[in-house]
Chains A and B, each alone.
Chain A
Amino acid sequence: MERYIYLILLPLGGAFIIAALNAAVKSRDTRDITSDIIANLITLAMAGIALTSFGINGSYSVGGWPVPLGINIAADGFSILMLATVNTIAFCATLYSINYMDQYTSKSHYYSLFLLMLTGMNGVLLSGDLFNLFVFIEIASISSYALVGFGTEAEELEASFKYMVMGGIASTFILLAVAILYSSFGVLNMANISQAISVSSQTPLLKFSLFLFIAAFSIKAAIIPFHAWLPDAHPAAPAPVSAMLSGVLIKTLGIYAMTRIIMNIFAADVSILAPLGIISIMLGVLLALGQTDMKRLFAYHSVSQVGYIILGISLGTPLGILGGLFHLVNHSIFKSLLFLNSGAVAYRLGTRELNEMGGLNKVMPITGGTSFIASLSIAGMPPFNGFFSKLIIILACVQSGHPGFALWAVAGSILTLSSFMKVQKFAFFGKLAEKHKQIKEAPLMMSISVVILAVLCIATSLLVLPKVKNIVLQPAVDAVLSGAGYAKIIR
């Protein structure tokens, strides 16, 4: 199980090495190139470790102290699936940053914050201890607050402050809930708490802490009505950071942590989340329809697509959870791709307003082509990955006796399609403006990174094949469904 500890140690070490280099090396060019190389090697290594870990479950006690005295890290199917997603997207985002972040000063600060955010996310996925979960959530959140305000323009600072206040309230709620659980059971280990809860009665105090957890993680996952920070924060960040925030951060800190705590620790009924999911799907997509800022539109779609994931998981049936987790993986791929594309457009045009674009397919064929693939995926067109996951969620709704939910999910999907038709029509098809004739394709590394993600958009639809599904998705579904059985992987 020692391999998992590297997923936390590598980025943490890298972050401090890059920060130290920043102080030691005088020349800015050398500093930028070395930090590029270090960050990319680290994320590549981590993606390698995470992608070869399927099926390796187990736990590891840090420092050799046995549970419940020591801190342990634990990996089951659910965490492994999330680790693979997070680290793959992180690698694409750092590859993209090589060219993109040239517009900003202090690239090395950016990489150190980025790697710290990655440390936090991997830590959240691996932590087997409630207080450590909180610490890692804070590491990831604090670095993401700083990254949102990285440009230090007026709007970015405002968005960052708003995000910070909302995120700070959520974190305080989590800490309070953890404290309440500690006061009830006297242990912090998730497995031990899960065993203790399964034999104890549901006191009001436990219900209160469950309520605090749900509220806090709903803020982190930006489920409507807790979404107010997301449409400001995600567009304000630099494009690779938006890709990370929308693609994986809201899922790791929000959905993963919420599912883990509700299903595995409290083993509680999650059906209360289904209406929230439906409201998120519909309101998110309706708000997105009215936007003309490209990144803001994508950000509202994140709210809407997170609604699908929540809807799938809250059904509680094996098929529903399968659909939810499958959509989680798919959404992180195509939404990062869309944000990276919007970054490429902004890099060349200097604007994110859809009204000022048009005909970009003629001058930026790679960006145009990949964003077309991503748009079809998010809208749920076969044979792309989004189609299969939405289909599974809709089937699961019908199968579990909620045809009404299925209807809303279909309606949301149609509205998504129409809103992405708008993006495609305004930005990539139509007439090319005279002043944009001289525009070139996005730089090499940015193009490579979006092509990798576009290939993944098609490749992940293979996950529906039973053979692949049994290796990748099924262990995750089993882990979520096992409820309090989570405790068994701790030795």
Chain B
Amino acid sequence: MIYVMCLALFVVGLYGICCKKNLIKIILGFIIMDYAVNLFIILIGYRKNGIAPILDKTMDVNKFALSSVDPMPQAIVLTAIVIGLAVTALMVAVCVRIYERYGTFDITKIRKLKG
């Protein structure tokens, strides 16, 4: 169920990118899509009532492996969030410069290129 909602979030983001006319809304769509994927990665490693993946000397390794959440997706998602931040920051920066040049955020009016 929660995976379906995750996919729904992804599709909402994709819809925002494809169908919105405003640059800011496109950026928001991108952020939503990015976070849907991040959420998905976290869900992969999730385990109900799991413990933090820190191995203590007093714990038994096999019992630990059965009850802890998977630390790998958490490491991955940190990197993915940082990358997403970089892309978003660059997008917003370019967006501000576009506003300086064109005086609008409407993509139907920003059409100097034929594409």
Instruction: Please indicate whether A and B come from the same complex rather than being unrelated chains.
Output: yes
User: Interface residues, chain A, CB within 8 Å of chain B?
Assistant: 131, 135, 138, 142, 145-146, 149, 152-155, 157-162, 164-165, 168-169, 171-172, 175-176, 179, 182-183, 188, 228, 231-232
Kindly identify which residue among B41, B83, B94 contacts A179, using a CB–CB cutoff of 8 Å: B41
Task: State the Cβ distance, A236 to closest chain B Cβ, in Å.
Answer: 8
Cβ contact within 8 Å between B115 and A152? no
Interface SS, A side: helix
> Please, which residues of chain B bring their CB within 8 A of the CB of A164?
87, 90-91, 94
Given known A152-B97, A172-B33, A175-B37, contact A158–B90 (CB-CB < 8 A)? no
Q: Please count the residue pairs between chain A and chain B whose beta carbons lie under 8 angstroms apart in the complex.
A: 88
Cβ contact within 8 Å between B113 and A232? yes
**How far, in whole Å, are A164 and B40 apart by their CA atoms in the complex?**
23
Task: State the Cβ distance, B43 to closest chain A Cβ, in Å.
Answer: 9
Given contacts A149-B94, A157-B97, could you give 16 more A-B pairs where the C-beta distance is less than 8 Å?
A: A145-B94, A152-B97, A154-B98, A158-B113, A161-B23, A161-B95, A161-B98, A165-B17, A169-B30, A169-B33, A172-B33, A175-B41, A179-B44, A179-B73, A182-B73, A232-B115
> Please, which residues of chain B bring their CB within 8 A of the CB of A231?
114-115
User: Interface residues, chain B, CB within 8 Å of chain A?
Assistant: 10, 14, 17, 23, 26, 30, 33-34, 37, 40-41, 44, 72-73, 76, 79-80, 83, 86-87, 90-91, 94-95, 97-98, 101-102, 110, 112-115
Given known A157-B101, A172-B33, contact A162–B115 (CB-CB < 8 A)? yes
**How far, in whole Å, are A228 and B18 apart by their CA atoms in the complex?**
14
- Which chain A residue lies CB-closest to B76? A131
Kindly identify which residue among B41, B83, B110 contacts A135, using a CB–CB cutoff of 8 Å: B83
Cβ contact within 8 Å between A228 and B97? no
- Which chain B residue lies CB-closest to A132? B79
**How far, in whole Å, are A138 and B10 apart by their CA atoms in the complex?**
19
Cβ contact within 8 Å between A182 and B23? no
* Top-4 shortest CB links A-B: A154-B101, A183-B44, A232-B113, A179-B41
Kindly identify which residue among A142, A159, A165 contacts B30, using a CB–CB cutoff of 8 Å: A165
Given known A146-B90, A169-B17, contact A176–B37 (CB-CB < 8 A)? yes
**How far, in whole Å, are A146 and B86 apart by their CA atoms in the complex?**
11
Cβ contact within 8 Å between A135 and B79? yes
Interface SS, B side: helix
Kindly identify which residue among A142, A157, A179 contacts B40, using a CB–CB cutoff of 8 Å: A179
> Please, which residues of chain B bring their CB within 8 A of the CB of A188?
72
**How far, in whole Å, are A176 and B13 apart by their CA atoms in the complex?**
14
**How far, in whole Å, are A168 and B34 apart by their CA atoms in the complex?**
9
Given known A165-B26, A169-B14, A169-B33, contact A182–B112 (CB-CB < 8 A)? no
Cβ contact within 8 Å between A158 and B112? yes
- Which chain A residue lies CB-closest to B34? A172
Task: State the Cβ distance, A216 to closest chain B Cβ, in Å.
Answer: 12
- Which chain B residue lies CB-closest to A233? B113
**How far, in whole Å, are A188 and B17 apart by their CA atoms in the complex?**
29
**How far, in whole Å, are A431 and B37 apart by their CA atoms in the complex?**
58
Cβ contact within 8 Å between A182 and B10? no
Task: State the Cβ distance, B47 to closest chain A Cβ, in Å.
Answer: 13
**How far, in whole Å, are A164 and B80 apart by their CA atoms in the complex?**
17
**How far, in whole Å, are A228 and B97 apart by their CA atoms in the complex?**
22
**How far, in whole Å, are A169 and B95 apart by their CA atoms in the complex?**
17
- Which chain A residue lies CB-closest to B38? A175
**How far, in whole Å, are A164 and B90 apart by their CA atoms in the complex?**
9
